[in-house]
Amino acid sequence: MREQLNNIKLEAEKKLNEAGSLAELESIRLQYLGKKGELTAVLRGMGQLSPEERPRIGQLANEIRSFIEEMLEEKTKALQEKERSMRLEKEAIDVTMPGKRRFLGKKHPLSIVLDEIKEVFIGLGYEIAEGPEVELDYYNFEALNIPAGHPARDTQDTFFINGDILLRSQTSPVQIRVMEKKKPPIKIICPGRVYRSDAVDATHSPIFHQVEGLVVDRGVTMGDLTGTLQLFARRLFGEDTKIRLRPHHFQFTEPSAEVDVSCWTCGGKGCRICKDEGWIEILGAGMVHPNVLKYGGIDPKEYSGFAFGLGVERVAMCKFNIDDMRLLYENDMRFLRQF
């Protein structure tokens, strides 16, 4: 019997070594270890053995069973691995085929610029204020130190609804509306639509966007204005950007300035974008005129402030190299999808 068992072991080992598939392994398992298997049959015959022999043969049979089981397991693992790697090989795909995209929409270039500006000023502690586009003459002109008949009114060709109501020609009226409601410290920007009766062409649009800024507090200086604008210009156009202030005249600021930023294309050396000037005019700014503070209900003896405004279209056109303003309002998908 011992011999019989050893034969089974040798035979099973040989078969297992030769087995090439999981199915073969299964039939080997059944052949030896199954209910009707050879090893099982041997064990069934153990009753005929002497009591002394029984434990010894029993132990041997168990050893052989473990041996076959272990070998089966090992062999199964190896074959599984082999089969998997064959499957993986077959499953290879062309990874350069186009991916399954969910096309996201694109933000309009004006929104991209507006959002960048908002982020800079929110970071500096500014709130975002809003005001009406259909506005009272009072807020658009009078309270900004531009009384009726003043020639400064002619420089902004204004759309009127009637004698008292107009389409705001600047975002500056929001300055007064904010001052009326809020006491200093005031730090706001106001992005919005403005209207001027310019015929549509490559560089003009009767509707465009401005961002107005206003800071009012005790002891606000023109140095604070230049510092703020310098920081803003660096954030928006790059850390190497310089600014330059030129004296100018606005009715609602005094002193007033036009602000140029160094050309971000040529860095100030002069190029097509900056018309060889090295500078690009981007902002109007100044210290809030004492009369304007008064109109806003703020005592100019106690407080001072600065204000600035910039055209969003102009920035967007410079930043994205857009040469025709009409593209911004035409909304051709092929244009919009580029941003």
Partner 1 sequence: MKLPLKWLKDFTDIDASPREYAHALTMSGSKVEGLEVLGSGIDGVVVGKILTVEKHPDADRLQVCQVDVGDGTIQIVTGATNIKVNDLVPVALDGSSLPGGIKIRKGKLRGVESAGMMCSIAELGLTKEDYPNAAEDGIFILEGDPSPGTDIKEYLGMNDTVVEFEITSNRPDCFSIIGLARESAATFGTSFRIPEVTVKELGEPIDGKVSVEIKDPDLCARYAARIVENVKIGPSPRWMQQRLRASGIRPINNIVDITNYVMLEYGQPMHAFDLRDLKGSRIIVRRAENGETMRTLDGQDRKLDESMLVIADAERPVAVAGVMGGENSEITDDTTTILFESANFDGISVRLTAKKLGMRTESSSRFEKGLDPENVINALNRAAQLVEELGAGTVCKGIIDCYPKKYQRRTIPFNPKFINGLLGTDISAEKMLEIFRRLEIEYDEATGTVIPPTFRPDLENEADLAEEVARFYDYNNIKPTLLEGRAATIGGRTRKQKIMDMISQTMLSCGLSETYTYSFTSPKVFDMLNLPADSPLRKAIVISNPLGEDYSIMRTTTIPDMLRVLSTNYNRRVEEARLFEMSYVYIPKSLPLTELPDEKPVLTIGMYGEDVDFYDLSGIIEELMEVLGIREYELEPAKDDPVFHPGRTARLIIKGENVGILGEIHPAVAENFEAAERNYIAFIEVEPLVRNAATERGYKLLPKFPAVTRDIAVLVDEGIPVRNIEKVIIDKGGRIFEEARLFDVYKGRQVPEGKKSVAYSITFRAYDRTLTDEEVSKAMEKITKALSDELGAQLRM
Residue numbers 184-243 binding partner 1 by CB under 8 A: 185, 187, 193, 195, 197, 199-200, 206-207, 215, 217-224, 226-228, 230-231
Q: Is residue 274 a contact point for Zn ion (CB under 5 A)? A: yes
| Contact partner at residue 20 from Zn ion, partner 1, none, CB < 5 to 8 Å by partner kind | none
165, 266, 271, 322: residue in contact with partner 1 (rule CB under 8 A): 165
Task: Please report whether residue 265 would count as binding Zn ion according to CB under 5 A.
Answer: yes
Report the nearest approach of Zn ion to the CB of residue 260 (Å): 11
Q: Which of 45, 55, 123, 297 binds partner 1 (CB under 8 A)?
A: 123
Contact 317, 325 (CB under 8 A): yes
Distance set, CA 151 to CA 138, 141, 142, 154, 251 (Å): 16, 11, 13, 5, 10
- In angstroms, the CA 296 to CA 45 distance is 112
Residue 189: beta bridge partners?
Answer: 128, 213
Stretch that binds partner 1, among 25-33, 53-61, 151-159, 318-326 (CB under 8 A): 151-159
Angle at 95 between CA 92 and CA 101, to 5 degrees: 130
The tokens describing 281, both together, are 């005019």
Q: How many helices (H) and strands (E) does the chain have?
A: 12, 9
Under rule CB under 8 A, residue 289 binds partner 1: yes
- 1 touching partner 1, by CB under 8 A: no
**DSSP 8-class letter at 312:** H
Give me the least distance between CB of 155 and partner 1, in Å please: 7
**Footprint of partner 1 on residues 73-92 (CB under 8 A)?**
none
93 part of the interface to partner 1, by CB under 8 A? no
Q: Rounded to the nearest 10 degrees, what angle do helices 312-320 and 109-123 cross at?
A: 110
Residue closer to partner 1, measured from CB, 57 or 260:
260
Which residue number, 65 or 177, has a Cβ lying nearer to partner 1?
177
3-state secondary structure of 63: helix
Query: Which range binds partner 1 by CB under 8 A, 14-22, 51-59, 125-133, 170-178?
Result: 125-133
Q: Which of 34, 255, 278, 311 binds partner 1 (CB under 8 A)?
A: 255
Residue 236: Cβ within 10 Å count? 19
